[in-house]
Amino acid sequence: MSDAGLLIALRELGLLAPHEGAETFSLTGGVSADVFGVRTEGGRALVVKRSIPRLRVKADWRAPVDRDALEVVWLETVRAVDARLAPKVLAYSPERHIIVMEWRDGPVWKQEMAAGRVDPAFAGEVGRDLAHIHADTAGNADIAARFPTADNFFALRVDPFLLYVAERHDDVAARLRLLAGDLTRRKKALIWGDASPKNILVGATGPVFLDAETATIGDPAFDVAFCLTHLLLKTIWLPTYAGQVMASFEALRDAYLAAFPADAEFSSRTADLIGALLLARVDGKSPAGYLDAAQDDVVRRRAKAILARENLDLANLPAVWRGFG
């Protein structure tokens, strides 16, 4: 979208006066969308997001652009749980596939870790807040009715992270397909589907969650596994801070389980999903671009070892991860 087109859209949505100017700038992380920051002459700061049909990765990865509608519902639902957890939606244009949100201050959690500011206490807050969302939406028929389809979750998570990888790794294909089938069947609570440190701001009052194109009614284990997977990857990417990052893994895990005691199989199911998601981050449609080839090999080997383990759960997974050397 051009700067001029962006300003026209904001005027049509009533967020910019007819003759009011604005500064626009691209924001990073737009794999599945164009994301812009806007500063108006009137002093307002906005974020504008527009879905794109083909995601910016090497593989041919496409998803319905109307996924933005469910993102709006997720943001509004999460704000109803706790307004500090997500930005407010100021306007939405389904015809243009544009969401306009308030600007929320704070550095991105991934960037904070990369700079050596690794805070396990903050990771614990993330775990607590994820649990809060899951607990408040579990078994709620009214909320479930707002998410009548899981098509986006399948297109953006189940297929590219599990089924696509299964086609490339015969030795774990059956395991990955079983996990994919289980994910599509479980409908317990509202899940985010993209609980990544790059989508979490370190806000003044705690975590702020962004980017929810993958939201659906599903298995809370996926959100926990997704975020914990990213923390394990950071121990490889940031070896100097590996101990602090593993402490963050444990803090998030413990805070989540303390706030939302889940079903008896939750811990083992989450551990299995971590193994699958680790493999997806090197051989799926959305690889972790910050790892080099040697680090990919380390992750691939550890992921397969996790998937091969019997009776693995979140309590013993850190020791198993460290033991792979």
Domain boundaries, the chain: 3-102, 109-323
pLDDT at 99: 92
pLDDT, residue 57, reads 47
pLDDT of the residue at 29: 55
**In the beta sheet, which residues pair with residue 93?**
98
pLDDT tens sequence across 64-107: 666 788 999 999 999 999 999 999 999 999 888 889 999 999 99
- pLDDT at position 64 is 62
pLDDT attached to residue 79: 98
- Per-residue pLDDT tens listing for the chain (325 residues): 555 678 888 898 888 888 888 888 888 656 666 888 999 988 899 999 887 655 554 555 555 666 788 999 999 999 999 999 999 999 999 888 889 999 999 999 999 999 999 999 999 999 999 999 999 999 999 999 999 888 889 989 999 999 999 999 999 999 999 999 999 999 999 999 999 999 999 999 999 999 898 999 999 999 999 999 999 999 999 999 999 999 999 999 999 999 997 677 999 999 999 999 999 999 999 899 899 999 999 999 999 999 999 889 999 999 889 875 4
Nearest to 129 by CA among 219, 269, 223: 223
Place of tokens 């590996």: 242
At residue 276, what is the residue type? Answer: A
Right CATH for 109-323 from 3.90.1200.10, 3.40.50.2000, 3.40.109.10, 3.30.230.20: 3.90.1200.10
The CATH architecture assigned to 3-102 reads 2-Layer Sandwich (3.30)
Say if residues 102 and 46 touch (Cβ distance below 8 Å). yes
Longest pairwise C-alpha distance within the chain: 65
What's the pLDDT at 3?
A: 59
Task: For residue 149, give both structure tokens.
Answer: 């389809």
User: Of the candidates 2, 8, 37, which has an alpha carbon nearest to the alpha carbon of residue 23?
Assistant: 37
Please state the pTM of the whole predicted model: 0.93
Distance CA 61, CA 97 (A): 18
* Sequence-ordered list of residues with C-beta below 8 angstroms from that of 69, at least 6 positions apart, any chain: 92, 94
Pairing of strands 98-102, 89-93: antiparallel
Spell out the long-range contacts of 162-171 with Cβ–Cβ below 8 A and sequence spacing 24 or more.
Answer: 162/276, 162/280, 164/59, 164/280, 164/284, 164/285, 165/276, 165/279, 165/280, 165/283, 165/284, 168/283, 169/279, 169/283, 169/304, 171/304
